[in-house]
Amino acid sequence: MNVADSELVASILSTNNFKISQDIDNSDIIIFNTCSVRQHAEDRVLGRINNEMSRKQSKKDLKIGVIGCMAQRLGNKLNEYNRNIDFVVGTDQYRNLPEIITNLFENPGFESETIVNNKEIYEDLYPIHSGKFNAFVTIMRGCNNFCSYCIVPYVRGRERSKAIDDILKEIKTIGEKGFKDITLLGQNVNSYNYEGVNFAELLRKVNKIDTIRRIRFITSHPKDLSDEVIKVMSNSEKVCEHLHLALQSGDDEVLKKMNRGYTAEHFYKIVQKLRKAIPEIAITTDVIAGFPGETEEQFQRTYDLMKKIKFDYAFTFKFSPREGTKASKFKDQIPEEIRLERLQKLIKLQEKITLKKYKDQIGKTKEIYVEKVSKKSEDELSGKSRDFKITVFKGDKSLIGDFVNVKITDATGWTLKGKILN
Ligand code: SAM
Ligand code: SF4
């Protein structure tokens, strides 16, 4: 989401006579796009901002700004934290950035714009995609789910969907520019709704766009992933065999306290349906360890469910209290060392499962979208399979940007190795 927003901001600024610099030493403006989902993300970016401030000693006119969810959440407080920050702009005010920055060069001081308008969808703007082969397409903004641990609804406002025709036009143009793999983005793509057009219908329409070859989408919410969407996924040749579906917890009481709107059983049934409809599907997930009040037994249920489902990969997090959310006020917070201990148990479990999942690919032939020369060796290329696995194989640089069939011969925890067939 942040990559997509940075690409949007790059577009807003470059259509207003600003230039994107590749060289921080020679930049006149530095903008930090920030995340607020966990305290760790905020701490890291605050450290980065402080580090860059020393540049102001040799370049008095340098402007340093903060945008994104942390800017939205903290607003003017960021300037109290660091007086040298020049501007703070929230998630709905990016259109004002050119004017804000121009004014600051004329009248130095501090500017902040963080009003949530709940309607801004940034239509008519075409992001400057940072990748060469994969492009993000934002189909909706905001979130209405208010999971009790999550800051997103507070910093990104209410859910709104982009016009279907704008989305289709954007994807067609992206495909013409050479990107063959697109990812539709939203906090809960399954609740996409534009004048009665739902997500399944949107997927069907995107599947018909002939300038692209692969479609992915994040994130799906288990309570809204319908049978209709599963059917469209299995019938649409461009929709990749990969789904990210956040479990968060394997215990019903914890899920209820999280306000997730499903049970562990419901989640498991969706996984079964997906695997039946799309046998080659890779399923990845998010899990939180040490949610307030989580008992050893409840944690064990999450562990056991992860062991039973065997996700291809899991993003595991220790619970991070976010000011203003319901869960941050729960009395029964779990001590940090127990949260960490549980997190480590989940990471260890998942490492084993992921390795086995990757080893299971040996002998299979996979279509790979070739993206670049491999980091480790000049004679090897690297690309992604439809089920989102990085695959490395010997091949000529001229194949970059092509689709090739690769027979998998080996696997580490993260990477497949193979031999090109055509
Ligand atoms: N909308 C997506 C969904 O519901 O699947 C998730 C978006 S959230 C930005 C990404 C992940 O961060 C969540 O799935 C959750 O696991 C994790 N997360 C969110 N708030 C958190 C918190 N307070 N502490 C720890 N992890 C958190
Ligand atoms: Fe946060 Fe829940 Fe919305 Fe995802 S669905 S962004 S976890 S509130």
Q: DSSP string spanning 111-169?
A: EEE----S----TT-----SSSSEEEEE-EE------TT--HHHHH-S-EE--HHHHHH
- Quickly count: other Cβ atoms within 10 Å of residue 190's Cβ: 21
**Amino acid 413: pLDDT:** 80
Q: What pLDDT, on a 0 to 100 scale, did the predictor assign at position 67? A: 98
261-303 tens-digit pLDDT? 999 999 999 999 999 999 999 999 999 999 999 999 999 999 9
Query: To test the ligand 2 pocket, which listed residue (73, 140, 145, 322) has its Cβ within 8 A of the most ligand atoms?
Result: 145
Measured from the alpha carbon of residue 286, the closest ligand is 1
- Output Rg (C-alpha) for the chain, integer angstroms: 22
Which amino acid does the sequence have at 359?
K
Pocket of ligand 1 contains residue 246 by CB under 6 Å: yes
What's the gap in Å between 290 CA and the centre of ligand 1?
A: 13
Best probe residue, ligand 1, of 139, 147, 188, 317 (max atoms within 8 Å of C-beta): 317
Binding site membership of 188 for ligand 1 (Cβ less than 6 Å): yes
Structure tokens at 28: 């006149």
Q: What percent of the chain has pLDDT over 90?
A: 97
| Amino acid identity, position 6 | S
Closest CA to 318 of 293, 298, 332, 338: 338
Q: Write the residue with the smallest CA distance to atom 4 of ligand 1.
A: 221
Report whether residue 286 contacts ligand 1, using a CB cutoff of 6 Å: yes
Tokens of 378: 């000049």
pLDDT digits (tens, 9 = 90+) for 10-53: 999 999 999 999 999 999 999 999 999 999 999 999 999 999 99
Residues 6+ apart with CB under 8 A from 402: 370
- Ligand 2 atom with least separation from CA of 188: 5
| Residue located nearest, by CA, to atom 8 of ligand 1 | 37
Position 407 scores a pLDDT of 98
Q: Is 221 touching ligand 1 by the criterion CB < 6 Å?
A: yes
Given the CA of residue 259, which atom of ligand 2 is nearest to it?
A: 2
244 lines ligand 1 (CB under 6 A): no
Q: Whose CA is nearest to atom 6 of ligand 1?
A: 187
Over residues 365-422, the pLDDT tens digits come to 999 999 999 998 999 999 999 999 999 999 999 999 999 999 999 999 889 999 999 6
Distance 300 CA to ligand 1 centre (A): 20
Task: Give pLDDT, residue 117.
Answer: 87
Q: Tokens 């203003």 label which residue?
A: 324
- pLDDT at position 333: 98
Which residues contact ligand 2 via a Cβ below 6 A? 143, 145-147, 150, 152-153, 187-188, 221
Q: Report yes or no: 368 and 393 within 8 Å, Cβ to Cβ.
A: yes
Atom of ligand 2 nearest to the CA of 187: 6
For ligand 1, mutation pick of 288, 336, 339, 347 (most atoms within 8 Å of CB): 288
Structure tokens at 185: 């983005």
149 CA: nearest ligand 1 atom: 23
Q: What is the pTM of this model?
A: 0.97
How confident is the model at residue 414, as a pLDDT? 87
Tens-place pLDDT, residues 72-88: 999 999 999 899 999 99
Beta-sheet pairing, 380-385 with 365-373: antiparallel
Q: How far is the CA of 152 from the centre of ligand 2 (A)?
A: 6
d(CA 154, CA 162): 20
